[in-house]
Amino acid sequence: MSPALQARLARLRAPDMPLMLVAFTNDLSVACIALGVQQFAIRMGATPLQSGLLGTFGSASYALGCFLAGSVSDRWGRKRPTILACAVCSTVWLAMLLARSPNHLLALMPLSGFSLSLLWPPMQAWLSEFSAGSRERLNRTMALFNLCWTAGIMLGPLVAGLVWDWHWWMAFVLPAVMTYAMIVALVRTPTHEHVQLPPPEAHPIHPERVQLFLYMAWLGNFASWFTRGVVGSMFPQLSAHLGFSSAMLGLLTCLLSAAMFTMFVLTRRERHWQYNFGTLLLAEIVGMVGMLFAAVSHSPLMFAGAFIASGLCSGVTYAGSLFYALDGAHQNRGRRSSLHEAVLGSGAVLGPLVGGALGQLISLHAPYAASGVVFGLAIVGQLVLWRRARPRLAAEVHADAPAAV
């Protein structure tokens, strides 16, 4: 057996691998449920505003829950909140089958969103603890984590689109059963106290530089998840209006996550994007152009290009936001990862809310123009932060600090 193959097999036996499986399975389930809920609501006569509110209610409860979940996991450990989250959200998804109007779904979405807030921040902090303070290990671990959950989000709409025309209720039962099964993986995953870890690396990045890039990445990530909220909640309405099939809807929604997945592959192999403002800025310009293009699109091919551009941008902003939140953090990983999730959750709240209102009052294309504007505002905010901080950064004496554009 070659050394390379032995190394890969050893990686599959690493103590954090069950968490990678949970990340993949849970986000596949969440993406399947998200599209299933929208389709179910449309079937029951939901208006564009109600479609937007379905995304808003779930994301709002998730964002609020994230402010609590990180601190809870810092005090009570990572394992218990994640197990509770899987049990509760699966039960809520099965309860959605009993809905008889869009308002019933609106009542259940906050329960689903809040329970998921107990999963993601604790699990991200749990994974970061296996890096033992090494920036290289942190990057590789979180990049693999990003690949896993993005693969789940990418396949979820495809699964929902395919099973909907077969047995529509499977779009709810299948995610619930898979997420219940993930409780076993969480129970079997050790905490970092029970794993022998290598010593941490020296030469950390200056805290002021970390803080600046964290704030800038938060702005970009907010805009990216505002866009994802718009696409997730409003594109089913626009797709139905344009006459796209359920399978085409699933495929186009999948492309956004497929592009994000591709970008995560690049962030795992390369480190030049870290603490590099030019990379972040370019990604957001691509995302902005993609959404403005979606605002005038009418064919599947045009939407495919727009969603790919947005997904590439999301890969950069999410990877940066999560990496900067955990790089150098030791005592409060749960709180910092929860703030990362709360920021993106806030974008996912406002995207469906603003998109639903604009779709109701103006047109079903208007939400995508709003996403382009939000990207523009994020870029302006980052330029202001960069200009104010650049003189102080230039004075830093850090032999190992990567060059920031």
- For residue 405, being part of any structural domain is answered with no
pLDDT value at position 2? 57
- For residue 167, being part of any structural domain is answered with yes
- For residue 372, being part of any structural domain is answered with yes
- State whether residue 397 is helix, strand or coil: coil
- For residue 363, being part of any structural domain is answered with yes
Q: What is the pLDDT along the chain (405 residues), one digit of tens a residue?
A: 555 554 555 555 666 788 889 999 999 999 889 888 888 888 888 887 787 788 778 888 888 888 777 677 777 777 888 899 999 999 999 999 998 989 999 999 999 989 998 888 888 888 877 776 666 777 788 888 888 988 888 888 778 878 877 788 888 999 999 999 999 988 888 775 444 445 555 456 677 787 888 899 999 999 999 998 888 878 888 888 888 887 788 788 888 888 988 998 888 777 778 888 889 999 999 999 999 999 998 889 999 999 999 999 999 999 888 888 877 655 666 677 788 888 888 888 888 888 888 988 898 999 999 999 999 999 999 999 988 887 776 665 443 444 444
By C-alpha distance, which of 174, 236, 280, 173 is closest to 41? 236
Per-residue three-class SS string for 90-151: HHHHHHHHHCCCHHHHHHHHHHHHHHHHCCHHHHHHHHHHHHCCCHHHHHHHHHHHHHHHHH
pLDDT value at position 194? 46
Number of domains the chain contains: 1
- For residue 401, being part of any structural domain is answered with no
What is the rounded CA–CA span in Å between residue 94 and residue 317? 33
Q: Which domain holds residue 331?
A: 13-190+201-394
Q: Write down the pTM of the prediction.
A: 0.78
Contact 334, 125 (CB under 8 A): yes
pLDDT value at position 97? 92
Q: Which residues of 13-39 are buried (b: 16+ CB within 10 A; e: fewer)?
A: eebbebbbbbbbbbbbbbbbbbbbbbb
By C-alpha distance, which of 292, 338, 262, 305 is closest to 69? 338
- For residue 148, being part of any structural domain is answered with yes
**CATH number of the domain where residue 276 is located:** 1.20.1250.20
Contact 27, 149 (CB under 8 A): yes
pLDDT value at position 401? 46
- For residue 196, being part of any structural domain is answered with no
- For residue 195, being part of any structural domain is answered with no
Q: What angle do CA 117, 64, 132 make, to 5 degrees?
A: 50
